[in-house]
Structure 1
């Protein structure tokens, strides 16, 4: 402090006694009463703010406890779901193995008459028969329609010739005029002999004289398998099913022992595809649940500060306008620097851990400062690389405050930042001996 320099230093000597010699005629009046009054006023405001901050911290701690409980409940739910998924997968794996086993020994039965081509011929024959019947029916309905139209036209023509034009009936006159308009229109050709000849040809039944001789396509030589199943057709149904099962199992045994080659037909059956799809879907579900379970377990084991209070703040952000830049602090995620002249965001670090920092500063009158003692700090590292320097990093030192806010940002070294911030989350935290314990801030 400068004494007798002609300047009244009221911040350090409120009664003005630093200028007792009255150098240059300087006379400093006693302002201790006013200073004390202002200090008591600000002190009262700080106490009220600290009381509100302590209440806010209790609310954050309660919210954090609720969130932790939700994570723990979700872990229990996922564990139960995974147990059920595992049982389901075991059942589906057994089903798939059984279907695959049956597929390896699958024997394709030939029809009792003809082979595969014979089946296709019969299907085509039946389909063509249905279409031919439909054509015949449509032609019959067409002829009936023609007869009715001709009959109605004859009635209307007779009506026009025989009605009395002197009879004053507007309805009758309108009917006659409508008939005259209809009769004057060009009519499409109704009778077409060539078209009818084509219909006659289509309507003929198939056979030796018809369009297709199906007997040529149905003649096939019987294979050994056909003979086997023709013999089987004479057996009672129950014995036939029993024999079929025994033959299938015998084939499977021969395939599994390398005596007989497996069937190589037209790919997998629908049953096998469905079994594979059901197993794959169940495996995807359990994989997703296991991933969520691992993430929730890791989250529950993370350090979120005393009482896990920062869990309630994670992801929330506060900003500070600092002239050329706007700085953003997002709790337990990242810090960023935003240029007001454009250019996007600069990552100043991602959260890595909690720390304890010892500070020794005077607390400003408004209380927005660190003061003295050990303080909770948040370390943010591995930010965007600094040209000709390290990756950016930030150290956020916290003090108790009624609301979350950034106070000051200082670049202590190249691309190494120190931020001072206030938050109710650190109110009542005793960080001595590196232990975070809650206490009464007041």
Structure 2
């Protein structure tokens, strides 16, 4: 009787060990409490509890065989104490290959697996610690960049206001110079008309006649002689030919000399028309010798030059204003933390190509021959709903030979320095870049920590 009791105890103890449920996580143990029957987790069937892990698949979802390879859709849970727990397909259970670091998937095979979870856990914990330190340093640097971004944003705004004030001042100057140029042009036109009128009788006209008369009257005796005409007057089409005495006398009205009054009504009119004779070393008309016209012409030229300078300055300032307004219209993050990237470029050489990323501007690819290809121009932020600043899209690059245009997606990752880390072309003319920068660090990452089961 005593032997029977001991046998029953031993047998029942062995039965309990055999009934130990393998391949389930602690959150699923409630479904596998030993009772008379087992309800498939998907609720599709009730089977006797003895059929759980009996190496025969009864449930459609494979939930009755978590510890065997009987069910094609089954999953085996690797506890992996000291490392990360995870699921493997139940088809890998007892297949002679160690998939779980704690060797729990090969409990009934010829494989001799060692428990490597602790070593793997140590490595992962060390890696996570490095990541945490990187994150802490990245967040510290990010705060600095945020502060710099705010200051830079204010500087840009102040610069814009200054440029707008300069533009307003130049606008006033521009209008003033335009008015003065108009007046100078009018004065020049009036002087020309006065010179062309010939007998206007204006004081300015008389001074013009007198100035030409004095130019011809070399000895200043108040009269022009044949010799003086020969010395100062030439033919329009042959300046080297000297007038004969007869030709000079004819210009003097047939006499040997003439005074200012006679000059005004004879030789002056001939010189004004400029059809045949002119004063030597001057244009065909004596108009160019008139000091008043020269002064008017010089004033008009001066005002034209000044107006052009002011116009160029005004256009330059307006271009700077437009460029600055475009830059300030870009979304640089909630705290302007990405503003420091503007006007910066980052390069990375991959095999025979050098890639250049200029944030908020463009992406370029250059081969060893020096040929550059545009891989896209700044388009927009394209991150997730939780973090829209995690991805950039650059669109409308140079046309691809297969049609369409090249484009680049830039993924921003957390790091202690700002650099272009990798470039890939997963599909033709569609590029992917990994761009590391402290401003991509997110405090929420710290809340993940290390898995509780490590």
CA distance in 2, matches of 1:47, 1:274: 69
Question: Which among 315, 318, 333 is matched to residue 290 of structure 1?
Answer: 318
In the superposition, the TM-score normalised over structure 1's length comes to 0.56
Question: Which among 402, 406, 411 is matched to residue 397 of structure 1?
Answer: 411
The answer to whether residue 364 in structure 2 is matched with residue 336 in structure 1 is yes
Look up the match of 2:215. 120
Question: Which among 99, 102, 113 is matched to residue 15 of structure 1?
Answer: 102
Look up the match of 2:96. 6
How far has the Cα of 1:382 moved from its partner? 1.8
The change in CA–CA distance for 1:294 and 1:410 in structure 2 (over 3 A counts) is closer
User: Where in structure 2 are there 5+ consecutive unaligned residues?
Assistant: 1-87, 195-203, 222-251, 266-285, 450-454
The change in CA–CA distance for 1:38 and 1:123 in structure 2 (over 3 A counts) is farther
In the superposition, the TM-score normalised over structure 2's length comes to 0.55
How far has the Cα of 1:45 moved from its partner? 0.7
Question: Which among 206, 223, 231 is matched to residue 110 of structure 1?
Answer: 206
Look up the match of 1:61. 146
The change in CA–CA distance for 1:336 and 1:224 in structure 2 (over 3 A counts) is closer
How far has the Cα of 1:62 moved from its partner? 2.4
CA distance in 2, matches of 1:322, 1:111: 81
Matches within 5 A, 1:143-154: none
How far has the Cα of 1:418 moved from its partner? 2.3
CA distance in 1, matches of 2:116, 2:421: 30
Look up the match of 1:345. 372
Whose relative contact order is higher, 1 or 2, with alpha carbons under 8 Å and at least 6 apart? 1
CA RMSD of aligned residues (A): 3.7
The change in CA–CA distance for 1:217 and 1:86 in structure 2 (over 3 A counts) is farther
| Alpha-carbon contact 1:115-1:220 (below 8 Å) kept | no
CA distance in 2, matches of 1:374, 1:118: 85
Look up the match of 1:79. 164
The change in CA–CA distance for 1:383 and 1:265 in structure 2 (over 3 A counts) is same
How far has the Cα of 1:125 moved from its partner? 6.6
Q: Is the helix fraction higher in 1 or 2?
A: 1
CA displacement 1:291-341 (0-9 Å, x = unmatched) = 22222222212222332222201243444454454444332222233446x
| Alpha-carbon contact 1:375-1:399 (below 8 Å) kept | no
Question: Which among 324, 327, 331 is matched to residue 303 of structure 1?
Answer: 331
Look up the match of 1:151. none
Q: How many residues align?
A: 290
How far has the Cα of 1:119 moved from its partner? 1.0
User: Where in structure 1 are there 5+ consecutive unaligned residues?
Assistant: 127-214, 227-263, 359-371, 431-437
